[in-house]
Every structure is written in structure tokens, then in C-alpha cells.
Amino acid sequence: MSEKLKFNQIMNQIDEISNKLGSNIDLEDSINLYKQAEKLIEEAETKLVEVRKIVAKESIKQ
């Protein structure tokens, strides 16, 4: 799976969590969702760096 696709999937998961946090859920679920979101954001940041490297390499080739 390409890094760009992985990044997009992570961002979709973050969006899903964001939507859940906007609904009526209890505090414990809310805390757990925030923790999941933090981990996903860290993953997204890592993937974004990898995607940028790939894009840079591709632009150098051209």
C-alpha cells in the first residue's frame, strides 16, 4: 500500500473520531477517542513526512 494511501486512511480515521466526539457520548468514551486520535495524528505526521519525501524524489526525477 502506498504511503499516500496510508496517510489518507489515517486522516479518514481521524475524521471518524472527530464525528464521534461531536455526538453524545460519555466521558470515558470521549477520553478513549481522544487517545486514539492522538496516536493517529502521530501516525499521520510520520506518513506525511514519508509522502513528502516520495513527492520530492518524484519531482527530482522529472
Structural domain count of the chain: 1
| Segments forming the whole domain that contains residue 35 | 3-61
38 has a pLDDT exceeding 90: yes
For 9-34, what is each residue's pLDDT tens digit? 988 998 888 888 877 878 888 898 88
pTM above the 0.75 mark?
A: no
1 has a pLDDT exceeding 70: no
CB atoms within 10 A of CB 40: 19
**Which spans in the chain are helix H?**
3-21, 27-61
Q: How remote is the C-alpha of 32 from its chain's centroid?
A: 16
DSSP state of 4: H
Average pLDDT over the chain reads 87
Report whether 13 contacts 40 (CB < 8 A). Answer: yes
Closest CA to 37 of 3, 14, 9, 11: 14
4 has a pLDDT exceeding 90: no
